[in-house]
Structure 1
């Protein structure tokens, strides 16, 4: 985790549950990702570092098995059309959930953007990164594979 500059979270810390509207018009929640390792990213369209790291999140998602790994993004932005334009400009396709009231952000104690959490398949939080990362780097892929129990 230190290779990615991620802070370890005390063992046994459970991820907050959530159920939020999604950019595709439906709803998604923590139950939809049960049994998967999840990289949960909090971001906003006005956040320059978020824009910088977003393409690497998309590339990471493409490298790992979607049956066991998910990249999930949450934003407090409320303009769906603006988010769609933002993602299209970056050529990124990721699930986007709306945390309009910032309830989930508060539950995860997000203090700055971007903030990313690595969540184990059992729902425990493994680590947190504040600030942008190259999520498709060799170190990041190795970290995700470690969380997945792969080498």
Structure 2
């Protein structure tokens, strides 16, 4: 086994994909700060790393569900900094926030939609990252390093 994990070896490619992916985030329902939280809760894995034909980078979003409620706090904080009032056209307001915190609001549907969007976007990101590694001729080395770590 090597000194660093395969994921440590692809930091440069991730930075490039981050920049290229920013336009997709801007057209999504997530702000940049919200996307950063989603990415912090996401890990990337290589499925079937010993099989060159079936190896695939995947986004593991198991932890994202835990940060979904925080996404609303980030958005609320951004609105407050921009001088928005507490009652936005999307509902909002302190009563809705309290209801949501108590699990009494209609937030579960919103949370499920945000989770699905996060899962979709993080997998698109993983696909882009794999494509970048393939185009740079680094995919096989990264895949093999991941297989060695198993």
TM, length-normalised to structure 1: 0.26
Q: Which has the higher helix share?
A: 2
Choose 1 or 2 for highest CA Rg. Answer: 2
Q: Which has the higher strand share?
A: 1
TM, length-normalised to structure 2: 0.26
